[in-house]
Amino acid sequence: MRDLSQTSSAEALNGGLFSDPLATSALLDVRTRLAHALQTTLDTGELLSLFFRYSRQLVDYNGLSYESESCGKFKLGHRAVHRCLYNMTLPDADLGSVTFFRKTRFSDDEQKSLETLLASLAFPLRNAQQYRQAMQMALVDPLTRVGNRAAMEKALEREHQLLQRNGKPFALLMVDIDHFKQVNDRFGHGCGDQVIAKVAKTIEQVSRSTDMTFRYGGEEFALLLSATGAAGALITAERLRRAIEKLKIRHADTAIAPTASIGVSACVDPAEPLTALVERADRALYSAKRAGRNRSCCEAPAHTLKAVTQ
């Protein structure tokens, strides 16, 4: 295993420690063309594919794997018995590790050539990581750290595509904190934020790991349930409603006990537009409000199920 440390990575990009080891026009040519190609994308997978294609023109190897905390795992080509692993870092970033695989051992000159080419990959990888993080943050609600409305729309589209491919239904819960304006008016918006954050955490704790929580707006949340019909979603809604009802949020000498109304609906028809699902769940939510709050109501595509109360 070799370590491309912060110092060596920086020097490599300036032609220092990793100066061209073979002193050949082939190495210079590949490195130049690779550097230009790496400037064309901010996608980690595409960067690695480009690196795989260009580097194999110089060093013949069977496969490559990449792993980082922020970008996950990627594999190109095939694994083999011999490997050479590099930890890549820059002064301001841990870029992850790259492993090369081959049926025969890498020579010292081949390893130095790979190190030279990896130095060209360092800053494009960092830029890709920063872009990925920025895109992820754009889909996160800063107060609750759950997905925002834009993230919800993307997730709904994915579930709809899965329904079209494999016929599995999915469900949507719209969750609204009851009488939330009174909390803000009486205790202030800071306390209101605490209540919102606590309810969001409760939704995530009660739901399955495959379910997705989003802040829809203000004191309203959405919970997207994969591979779930209306009946199963209503059971989840009641479990969630009871969990929220048990909350006690301390503010000064007062214990705030929030409740929530929940609207439920499911999508079972691949031809149905997503807007119809959201509208049904929203109508079910208002049915729960009109029925006295702190309850769950479900509206199915063809009929409305009886409200479930305490």
Q: How many CB atoms lie within 10 A of CB 46?
A: 15
Q: What angle do CA 35, 38, 39 make, to 5 degrees?
A: 95
Please report which helix (H) or strand (E) contains residue 58, including its range: none
- How deeply is 187 buried, as exposed, middle or buried, from its count of CB atoms within 10 A (0-12, 13-18, 19+)? middle
Quick check: 214 and 204 in contact, CB under 8 A?
Answer: no
For residue 263, list its beta bridge partners.
Answer: 174, 297
Helix ranges (H only) for the chain are: 6-13, 25-38, 44-55, 108-137, 149-166, 180-187, 189-206, 230-245, 274-290
Quick check: 54 and 118 in contact, CB under 8 A?
Answer: no
Q: Of residues 115, 159, 219, 299, which has the active-site annotation?
A: 219
106: closest CA among 147, 37, 59, 51? 59
Distance CA 171, CA 44 (A): 32
Q: Token digits for 122?
A: 């360092």
Residue 219 among the catalytic residues: yes
**CA distances (Å), origin 178, targets 70, 162, 194, 295:** 38, 33, 15, 10
**Largest Cα–Cα distance of the chain, in whole Å?**
80
Can you say how many angstroms the Cα of residue 168 is from the centroid of all Cα atoms in its chain? Answer: 22
Quick check: 51 and 117 in contact, CB under 8 A?
Answer: yes
Distance CA 68, CA 87 (A): 10
Q: Which residues are catalytic?
A: 219
